[in-house]
Amino acid sequence: MYRVSRRHLILGGAAIAGVTALMTKPEDKSGPRTPYFLELQAALMRAGIATPTLVIDRTRLNANIDALLGHLPAGMGYRIVAKSLPSLGLIQHIRERTGTDRLMTFNQPMLSKLSIAIPDANQLLGKPLPVQAAKSYFELLPPDASASAGRIQWLIDTPERLAQYASLAREQNRTLDINVELDVGLHRGGFEPSAELSTVLQAIQNDPNLRLAGFMGYEPHIPALPTTLGWRDKALAGAWNKYKGALGQARDIFGADAVSGLTRNAAGSPTYRYYQDTEIANEISAGSCLVKPTHFDSELLEPHLPASFIATPVIKSLPTTRMPGLEFADGVKRAWDPNYNKTVFIYGGHWLADPVDPPGLEYNSTFGRSSNQEMLNGGPDLEISPDEFVFFRPHQSEAVFLQFGDIAIFEDGEIVGAWPVFPASA
Ligand SMILES: Cc1ncc(COP(=O)(O)O)c(C=O)c1O
CB atoms within 10 A of CB 362: 17
Residues 6+ apart with CB under 8 A from 383: 32, 33, 358
For residue 403, what are the domain limits? 29-53+306-419
Contact 276, 386 (CB under 8 A): no
Distance 90 CA to ligand 1 centre (A): 17
In a domain, 312, yes or no: yes
Take atom 12 of ligand 1 and give the residue whose Cα is closest. Answer: 268
In a domain, 3, yes or no: no
Distance 338 CA to ligand 1 centre (A): 40
In a domain, 140, yes or no: yes
218 lines ligand 1 (CB under 6 A): yes
For position 145, what pLDDT does the model report? 84
Question: Could you tell me the CATH number of the domain that includes residue 398?
Answer: 2.40.37
In a domain, 253, yes or no: yes
Same domain, 234 and 122: yes
Same domain, 222 and 179: yes
In a domain, 344, yes or no: yes
Q: What atom of ligand 1 comes closest to residue 398's alpha carbon?
A: 10
Take atom 2 of ligand 1 and give the residue whose Cα is closest. Answer: 126
Q: How far is CA 123 from CA 66, 73, 292, in A?
A: 22, 22, 23
Buried b (16+ CB within 10 A) or exposed e, 145-182: eeebbebbbbbbbeeebbebbbebbeeeeeebbbbbbb
Same domain, 319 and 391: yes
Contact 221, 235 (CB under 8 A): yes
56 lines ligand 1 (CB under 6 A): no
286 lines ligand 1 (CB under 6 A): yes
Same domain, 219 and 338: no
DSSP bridge partners of 310? 54, 392
Question: Could you tell me the CATH number of the domain that includes residue 239?
Answer: 3.20.20.10
In a domain, 62, yes or no: no
Distance 127 CA to ligand 1 centre (A): 10
- CA-to-CA distance for 374 and 134, rounded, in angstroms? 41
In a domain, 247, yes or no: yes
Contact 149, 182 (CB under 8 A): no
Distance 61 CA to ligand 1 centre (A): 18
85 lines ligand 1 (CB under 6 A): no
Query: Which residue type does 267 have?
Result: A
Distance 281 CA to ligand 1 centre (A): 15
Distance 313 CA to ligand 1 centre (A): 32
- CA-to-CA distance for 420 and 407, rounded, in angstroms? 6
341 lines ligand 1 (CB under 6 A): no
Closest CA to 212 of 170, 172, 280, 165: 165
Distance 136 CA to ligand 1 centre (A): 24
Backbone angles phi, psi at 54, to 5 degrees: -90, 125
269 lines ligand 1 (CB under 6 A): yes
Q: Which of 64, 72, 104, 153 to mutate to test the pocket of ligand 1 (most atoms within 8 A of CB)?
A: 104
Same domain, 250 and 326: no
- CA-to-CA distance for 407 and 166, rounded, in angstroms? 40
Question: What predicted TM-score, i.e. pTM, was given to this entire model?
Answer: 0.93
288 lines ligand 1 (CB under 6 A): yes
CB atoms within 10 A of CB 425: 11
Q: What atom of ligand 1 comes closest to residue 216's alpha carbon?
A: 1
In a domain, 189, yes or no: yes
Distance 88 CA to ligand 1 centre (A): 18
84 lines ligand 1 (CB under 6 A): yes
Closest CA to 174 of 183, 165, 186: 165
Same domain, 219 and 270: yes
Same domain, 273 and 132: yes
Is residue 141 classed as helix, strand or coil in its secondary structure?
coil
For position 192, what pLDDT does the model report? 98
Residues of the chain with pLDDT under 70: 1-22
For position 314, what pLDDT does the model report? 98
Cβ contacts of 137-140, under 8 Å, gap ≥ 24: 137/108, 137/111, 137/112, 138/168, 138/172, 138/174, 140/112
Same domain, 323 and 276: no
Query: What are the pLDDT digits (tens) for 109-142?
Result: 999 999 999 999 999 999 999 999 999 999 999 9
Same domain, 260 and 176: yes
For position 274, what pLDDT does the model report? 98
Apex 195 CA angle, 192 and 198, nearest 5: 85
Same domain, 336 and 277: no
Same domain, 270 and 392: no
Please give the tally of structural domains in the chain: 2
Distance 398 CA to ligand 1 centre (A): 10
Looking at 247, 281, 315, which one is the last position of a domain?
Answer: 281
Same domain, 123 and 220: yes
Q: What SS3 string covers 312-362?
A: EEEEEEECCCCCCCCHHHHHHHHHHCHHHCEEEEECECCCCEEEEECCCCE
Closest CA to 369 of 351, 389, 387, 390: 351
The CA-based diameter of the chain, rounded to the nearest angstrom, is 100
